[in-house]
Structure 1
Amino acid sequence: MELNNLAVIKIKNLRLRTFIGINEDEINNKQDVIVNAKIHYSAVAAVTTDNMDNALNYRTITKKIIALVEQQRFSLLEKLTADVLAIASEHPSVRYAEVEIDKPYALRFADSVSLTLSVNK
């Protein structure tokens, strides 16, 4: 049996705080955001060698996302999502990446507003 060894890593509900928005209250106060990422990558080398050096390290990716989100300021959800997507898709073995970021309570009668961006390589 031959496997295609296309792996999918999912980072689910990464809860962070950042400055995001254009209103005075948003500029002056950090808000919660929830990051979800889906990363498809070729795991051929990782599967055959069982060596971490040949795998996509989701811990490293997550640490980079945390640093970006918590240390930067963003006016738009689009910019924040695009920057997180760039981190999720930067490794050469990534074939597809998708990032969704929720901004809870952004609208009065909604649980959240979210934006999703993806890249095919």
Structure 2
Amino acid sequence: MPSVSNAIIRITNLRLRTYIGFNPEEREKLQDVVINIEIHYPAEKAAITDDVEKALNYKVVCKEIIQHVEEGHFLLLEKLVGDVLDIATAHPWVSFASVTIDKPHALRFADSVSLTLEKHCCQDH
């Protein structure tokens, strides 16, 4: 098998509801958010061995993100995106992650407002 450098996991359009915003109506009413995540990690061992233990379990990452977002209250989109990025990069194998969260209908004449944060990580494997 040829050498594999990085796997890129993409979680696309994860639609959740949370409390996001600092206006009184935003603090009292659940709002939709759309989350897109990209996680990079070295996958050579998983690709060669087909061993689940050598792969990054994106289902576990996603469940933790869902719980955090749905149970949280956030004033700023920056805080929400930062928290999700921290969860996405928590595993020591992660070398890079990017998180974009859209807040649909945040502005009157726009489909959504989005914010993206990225993190380059040291690998520990």
- Global fold match (TM > 0.5): yes
Partner SS for 1:81: helix
The Cα RMSD (Å) is: 1.0
Deviation, 1:35, is: 0.4
**Residue aligning to 2:95:** 95
Structure 2: any 5+ residue segments left out of the alignment?
none
- What are the Cα deviations for residues 33-72 of structure 1, in whole angstroms up to 9, with x where unaligned? 0000000100022112111111001111110000000001
| Count of aligned residue pairs for this structure pair | 121
**Residue aligning to 1:38:** 38
CA distance in 2, matches of 1:50, 1:2: 15
CA distance in 2, matches of 1:58, 1:5: 18
Q: How does 1:1-121 map to 2 (within 5 A)?
A: 2-121=2-121
TM-score relative to the length of structure 1: 0.97
Could you say which structure has the higher strand fraction?
1
Deviation, 1:8, is: 0.2
Deviation, 1:3, is: 1.9
Structure 1: any 5+ residue segments left out of the alignment?
none
State percent identity of aligned pairs: 55
The amino acid across from 2:63 in the alignment is K
- What are the Cα deviations for residues 43-102 of structure 1, in whole angstroms up to 9, with x where unaligned? 022112111111001111110000000001000000000000001111111110000000
Partner SS for 1:94: coil
TM-score relative to the length of structure 2: 0.94
Moved more, 14-23 or 4-13: 4-13
The amino acid across from 1:39 in the alignment is I
**Aligned 8 A contact 2:4 2:47 in 1:** no
The amino acid across from 1:53 in the alignment is E
